[in-house]
Amino acid sequence: MSCKLCDLLKEAPLYDDGEVTAVVSETPAAPGHLIVAPKTHHVILEQVPDWVMGKLFTVANKLSIALFEGLGAQGTNLLIQNGAAAGQGAPHVSVNIVPRQENDGLNLLWQPRQLSEEEMSTVELKLKQEIKSIGSFDKEKPKPKEEPKPDVKKEYKLSEEENYLIKSLRRIP
């Protein structure tokens, strides 16, 4: 089965650096709405290597700047819908960059939930426990391992001057 976003990224890239691609959204929330995604297919955020995430957000930042300067955006929302329960439409990790204007009528605000102190403490304890298992992060693309080079003995030939000096050393009692 083909991924619709993979196909779109190949067909009409606005930006492509070989690892991250950006396209104009086919169903924009606002004029200039962009979708930025890794070229490699990853269904959810947790599958994306750390170095790709770094690259993805670096590109998203640069494209956000382009929306400010090129379209006169007064703000941008960066939105990641990670998993079906979060509203993810395509099974491919992506960052939506939505350019904003004051009073544009686009409502991305939600009402905060009121949790009891007990609920907050339980959530915090569970998260602290899980966060302890987070390891180090890969900051760049892994480099391919090089084959060890065999030791090659290089024949060294003495110059006439070096020969003279060695002969002189042998004469010293």
Residue 27 is classified by DSSP as: S
Scan for tokens 């083909």, then name that residue.
Answer: 2
In this structure, what token pair is assigned to residue 122? 């339980």
pLDDT at 155: 65
Extents of the domains making up the chain: 4-100
- 3 φ, ψ to 5°? -90, 125
pLDDT at 159: 63
How many Å apart are CA 20 and CA 13, to the nearest integer? Answer: 10
SS3 state of residue 123: helix
The answer as to CATH 3.40.50.2300 being correct for domain 4-100 is no
pLDDT at 55: 93
How many Å apart are CA 26 and CA 32, to the nearest integer? Answer: 10
pTM: 0.73
Q: With the CA atoms of 90, 67, 74 and 86 taken in that order, what torsion angle do they form, in degrees rounded to the nearest 10?
A: 10
pLDDT by 10s per residue, the chain, length 173 = 578 888 888 887 899 998 999 999 999 999 999 999 999 999 999 999 989 999 999 999 999 999 999 999 999 999 999 999 999 888 999 999 999 999 999 988 888 888 899 999 999 999 988 888 777 666 667 777 777 666 666 666 666 666 666 666 666 65
The 75-79 sheet, strands edge to edge: 15-16, 20-24, 34-38, 95-100, 75-79
Residue 10 is classified by DSSP as: H
How far lies 21's CA from each of 1, 9, 84, in Å? 21, 6, 22
